[in-house]
Chain A
Amino acid sequence: MREEIISRDEEMNAVPIDYKYGFTTDHKNLKDTGKGLSEEVIKEISKEKNEPSWMLDIRLNAYRQFIKMPLPGWGPDLTQELDFDSYTYYIKPSDRTASSWDDVPESIKETFEKLGIPEAEAKYLNGVSTQYESEVVYHNNQKELEEAGVIFLDTDSALKQHPDIFREYFGKVVPFADNKFSALNTSVWSGGSFIYVPKGVKLEKPLQSYFRINSESMGQFERTLIIVDEGADVHYIEGCTAPIYTANSLHSAVVEIFVKKGGKCRYTTIQNWSNNILNLVTKRAICDDDAHMEWIDGNIGSKITMKYPACILKGDRSKGTTVSIAFAGKGQTQNAGAKMTHLGKDTSSSIISKSLSRHGGNVTYLGLVEHRENANGAKTNIECDTIILDGISKSDTIPYNVTKNGDITVQHEAKVSKVSEEQLFYLMSRGLSQEQATEMIIMGFIEPFARELPMEYAVELNQLLKLEMEGSIG
C-alpha cells in the first residue's frame, strides 16, 4: 500500500501542479449513490445511515424545496458552473466510524499524515474529528471532554446518540427553505461536527476537525450543529484542504450555532479548497442575552466561494464579530462577507474584512447589517480593507445597511490599498528582495486576521499565502 502511494506521489510530482495538497490516496470507496439526485437517492442515503423516519421526511421536504428554489439572486453567476446531475451526493469511505487512530485504515492515515494531522493532534488538541469524504472515520474525544459533559461527535453519530437534542435544534437557525443550497444540504447532508457544551463549561483548548473532499466530482454536504449552553465557552476550528480534480466539485455546507445566555463561541475556518471547487456555504449563529459569537473566516482556495457568516443578535447586549480574509488568484471568485442582524437592545457587532486579489482574481465583500425596530443602542463597526496586487484583478466592497431604529450607531471604513512604491523602496533598501518585501507587506496586511488564529494555524496560513504569492512579481 505504502509503495503504491509513493509511486502515485511520483506520478503526481511529474505533473506540473501548483496545489500543495494535490495528492490522492487510492482508498477504495465502499459505497456511493452514483451521480445525480432524486428522491430514491435520498431514501438510499437515509436508509444507509439507518436514520429515524422524521429525518428522512425532513430530507425529502428539503429536496422538494430545493427543486423549486431559484439560485441566489446575488453574487457571482452560478448557472454556467453548476450541474446538479454531475455530482455524487453520497460516498461512504468505510463501514464504520473508527474510535482510535490505530483503527483508521492505512490509506486514510497516509492522507492525514501528509496534512500533518498527527503533529497537530500532539499539540494540545482536545479532540480531533476528521472527515474523509462524506463520513467521519476518525474521532477522538479526550477524556476530559467527556467528564465535563461536552458532546463532540460527527453529526451522524449525534443523531443516533442524542436524537432529542438534535431534533430540538436541527434546522432551527438555518431553515431548509432559507436558500437553494441550505435546501440541498438538508436533503443530502452527511458528516460534519456536532458539539454541545453544557452550562458554565469553558473549554480552554480549541476543538478541531479537518474536512477533505477526495473523490472526483463528488459533493460534500457536511452539516455542523453547535450548541453552547448558558455561560459556556468554546472555540471550534474547521480546516479544509482538498486535492486537485479535473471536474467541478461542489461543497455546500450548513453550520448552525446556538449561543445561549452569557455563552461564547468562536468558529475558525481557513478554507483552501483546490481551485475547481464551488464552495457555497451557509453559516449562521443566534445569540441570546449577553452571548458572543465570533466568526474567524479565511478564504484562500476554491473556484467560487459564496459565504457570509451571520449572527442573529436576538438577546440584549449580545455581540457578533466577524474577522475575515479572502484571497482571489487566477480564475477565482471570492464573494464573502458578513451578516449581522440586530434584534436586541444594546447589541453590538464588528466586522473586519481583508481582501486581496491578483492575476485576474475577483474578490468582493458583500455585507448586510440590519438594525431592527427594538435594537435601541445598537452599535456596528465595519472595516473593509483591500489590496489589489496588479492591474487586471478586481475588488468590490458592497455594504448594505438596513436601519429601522434611530437610536443606533454604524461606523463604516473602507480602504483600497496597494503595495506602495515607498514601502517597497523602504524594505528593499534594507536588503529584502522585491518578493520578500511584497510578502512582508501582505503578511502585515492580514495580520489582524492572523493574530486571531492559534499559532500552528497562523504558521500554516503564512505558508499557504507564501505559496500563493510565489511568482506574483513581474
Chain B
Amino acid sequence: MSATLAEIFSTARTQGRAALIGYLPAGFPTARGCVQLMAAMVAGGCDIIEVGLPYSDPLMDGAAIQQAVGQALEAGTTPDVVLDVVRELSELNVTSVVMSYWNPIERYGVQRFAERLRAAGGQGVITPDLTPEEAGDWMAATDVTGLSRIFLVAPSSSDLRLAKVSSVSGGWVYAASTMGVTGARTQLGDAAQVLVERTRAYTDLPIAVGVGVSTGDQAADIAKFADGVIVGSAFVKAVLDSPDIEAAVDAVKSLAAELADGVRR
C-alpha cells in the first residue's frame, strides 16, 4: 500500500529534508511508457508522482509540457487512461496525485472523477485553473472521497487570498515560485522563499514549491525553506530529448537522483 501524502512529508521532515515531487503527463510518450518512466523517477528518488491529465488548452504550461501533452492527446489519452496510470502506480506502492485543468474533470463528472480516482489509489488533485471561489462542487466531492485538494498560491497572492486558499487546501499547498508558466529557469529569485514564509502564517500544511525548478542546486536552495520541491518540465524535457524509451528511463532516473540529492543537502 502506498504511503499517504501526510506520511511522506512527515518522513521527509524527520529526515531533515524536503520531499521530491516529479511530474509527467499520463500517456506521454505512451500509456505504457509513462508508467515505466514514473517508476524510474521513483527509483531515482521521487517521493510522489504528479500524473498530468493532458488537456488541449494548458494555459499555465510552457513549451515543453505543451508539446508533451499534445503528443499524449494525439495518442488518445483520456481521463480513463490517467486513472489506469494511477492504479498501476498504486500497485507499485507509488504515491500519486493528479494534475488537471478543470474542464476535463467537470466534463467527466466531478463526483464520478473523484470517486474513481480514489478507488484507483490517487491521493489528491492539483487544479491549476481552479480557485476556491469556483470550487463548490469540488469541495463536496473531495470531502466525500477524502481526496486532497491541492490549490496554488502565487507571489502575487494577497494575504487575504493566502489565508483563503490555504484554509481549504489539503495534502500540501502548492507555491508557484515565480510569476510565469511552467518551464526551466536558469535563475529563481527570492520570490519563492518570501511566498513560502508568508503562506506559513496561515497554515500548518506542508508547502511545496514548483514552476521553473530543474536542477539539483535549485532543489537544494528551495529545500532550505520549503517542505517539498516539484519538478515537471525538466523531466518532460529529459524524455523529449531522449531517442528512445530506454534512454528516457535512464535520463529521468538520473535527473531524479540529482534532484533527490539536492533536497537532502
Real binding pair: no
Give the B-binding residues of A (Cβ under 8 A). none
